[in-house]
Structure 1
Amino acid sequence: MFTSLTAAKEMHEHICGFALDKSSNLILLSFHRIWGANGIGIISDDQNMRSLNRNVLKRAPCSVGLFVYRKPIWQHKSIESPCRVCLIYVGGNEDKEALALADHMQGNKQVSLTVLRLFPAPHPGENNKRSVRQMIDKDRDDDRLRNDSITYIDWMVADGTKTSKILHSVAYDYDLFLVGRRSGIGTTVTSGLGDWMEFDELGIIGDLLASEYYPSKDSVLIIQQQA
């Protein structure tokens, strides 16, 4: 445990410098907005914290996790009940980084992991079944995606509206969502959703999951991999 006191405008430099000195793999930050009981009602909206988070995301020498805390993960659940974690997986390095973290969480027997995979719909003229099967097979080349203890749900998505409907349909099925910050950017999976994004530091899908309009008030962990 280390403690450092510094001016707010220089804090990101200390965090990034310390992470570099210690060869850290992950910097974990708290989202600047804090909600009230059960994730309802904003009680704090610290813009200094938001500026800090955005600066760390720009300069971090390692991966960064931005945690949006809405309510206790085990709230109203018995201690024997598993924590239901859902990883939104479109592909790309950040989703794989999030998968590695989720896979590590599975070391805890009280964690149940579901990978919700969203595949961009094939272009007109492509063989739909063959194209989707190729994408699924390619992703399963990753050893972590061959884990029998993981539940897989696969969707083919033609546009951001379909993605939004899918994510809304599973809103109450999980206790924690994980997603890569740049997950789905530049694909049909997020087309049209960027226009409604409030906080770019969360990414398009992360912003949707953390939105006050999202049905459930579950916590979200957004992962950014160092470029």
Structure 2
Amino acid sequence: MTSDDSYSENVVIAFKQFVRHNAEVVSLNVFTAVSPPNLMYKDICNLAIEHSTCFILLPFHRRWYIDGSIESEDQTIRSLNCDILKMAPCSVGILVEGRRKVSFSTFRDPPSSQSYSSYNIAVIFMRGKDDREALALAKRISQDESVSLTVIHLKARNSIGTILAESDGVLDDEMLNGIKGSVRYLEEQVSYGPETSNFLRSIVEDYQLFIVGRRYKCEDPQTSGLELWCEFEEIGIIGDLLSYTDFIANYSVLIVQQQHQRNS
């Protein structure tokens, strides 16, 4: 069995375990499909259309050890992810896994009740449709009593020059107002990208999962100066920053892109 086979088996085991814990509301269908790597995205997108899928979850192509060294890297997966982001008929998430002390651990043993007692998730919210999709997903996850959700609204200290569509601003405000009082809500003001980097570095040990919008080609004061250092544009500036090797902590990052609207 190859390492990729083992990885897939562990993912299936994790989902089966999730189904056992949520038997009343979740069902699982597992199957294997074989296709050429350069055409795999078409099969995935067609399958999503066939099943009226609302969300595709993809693995990031790189995994790290806890010391920041690279455990594995697969450029075929990266190419697949980029193609799906362009063509997906629904929203897409890319999961950057937390770093491990050893190679990928299995999900065969169920987690202890203690690990379920407090799972801290943070949403980094700035603006726009991807951030709203990330927040909507986090709200659904937070319905689990074991999850503690914090929404961190990262605001520009000086918003002069920021271009924001009126409709986006209204939708952002409506969504944020809808969650205030039901989850922990924080506001943090920053002036430019390095301040954002320092702030995120200061909180990474407080959470096990960050959920962020991809925000492809969005320009904001909060990320100014960081775009030049972004290594993987498919996970966006904030996702790339949280995946940076200097951010040493054991957390995962879920990068979310809302379904693209295409002209017919």
Same fold, TM-score > 0.5, yes or no: yes
**Aligned equivalent of 2:56:** 27
Closer, same or farther: CA 184–146 of 1 in aligned 2, 3 Å: farther
CA distance in 1, matches of 2:199, 2:207: 13
Percent of residue pairs identical: 40
In structure 1, give the amino acid aligned to 2:137. Answer: L
CA distance in 1, matches of 2:226, 2:176: 31
**Aligned equivalent of 1:194:** 227
Deviation at 1:149, TM superposition (A): 3.2
Check if 1:7 corresponds to 2:36.
yes
Deviation at 1:179, TM superposition (A): 0.2
CA distance in 2, matches of 1:39, 1:4: 35
Check if 1:88 corresponds to 2:124.
yes
Closer, same or farther: CA 29–123 of 1 in aligned 2, 3 Å: closer
Deviations 1:106-164 (A, max 9, x none): 1110000001111122356xxxxxxxxxxx99844227743423111101221111111
**Aligned equivalent of 2:259:** 226
Deviation at 1:7, TM superposition (A): 1.1
Check if 1:213 corresponds to 2:246.
yes
**Aligned equivalent of 1:150:** 183
C-alpha RMSD of the superposition: 2.6
Deviations 1:202-226 (A, max 9, x none): 1000000011111323110000112
Deviation at 1:22, TM superposition (A): 1.5
CA distance in 2, matches of 1:47, 1:75: 32
Check if 1:98 corresponds to 2:157.
no
Q: Which runs of 5+ in 2 are unaligned?
A: 1-28, 101-109, 161-168
SS at match of 1:220: strand
Contact 1:92/1:183, CA 8 A, preserved across alignment: no
Deviation at 1:91, TM superposition (A): 1.3
CA distance in 1, matches of 2:95, 2:67: 14
Q: Which runs of 5+ in 1 are unaligned?
A: 125-135
Deviations 1:58-98 (A, max 9, x none): 111110000001248x9999235311000000011111101
Check if 1:41 corresponds to 2:32.
no
Contact 1:95/1:183, CA 8 A, preserved across alignment: no
Contact 2:132/2:172, CA 8 A, preserved across alignment: no
Deviation at 1:39, TM superposition (A): 6.6
Contact 1:100/1:144, CA 8 A, preserved across alignment: no
In structure 2, give the amino acid aligned to 1:205. Answer: I
In structure 1, give the amino acid aligned to 2:42. Answer: E
TM-score by length of 2: 0.74
Q: How does 1:99-138 map to 2 (within 5 A)?
A: 99-123=135-159
CA distance in 2, matches of 1:147, 1:119: 16
Moved more, 5-14 or 211-220: 211-220
CA distance in 2, matches of 1:26, 1:150: 23
Contact 2:68/2:246, CA 8 A, preserved across alignment: no
SS at match of 2:53: coil
Contact 2:159/2:221, CA 8 A, preserved across alignment: no
TM-score by length of 1: 0.86
SS at match of 1:67: strand
Q: How does 1:63-74 map to 2 (within 5 A)?
A: 63-71=91-99
CA distance in 2, matches of 1:158, 1:143: 21
Deviation at 1:9, TM superposition (A): 1.2
Contact 1:90/1:183, CA 8 A, preserved across alignment: no
Moved more, 138-147 or 105-114: 138-147
* Aligned length, in residue pairs: 215
SS at match of 2:114: coil
Contact 1:70/1:219, CA 8 A, preserved across alignment: yes
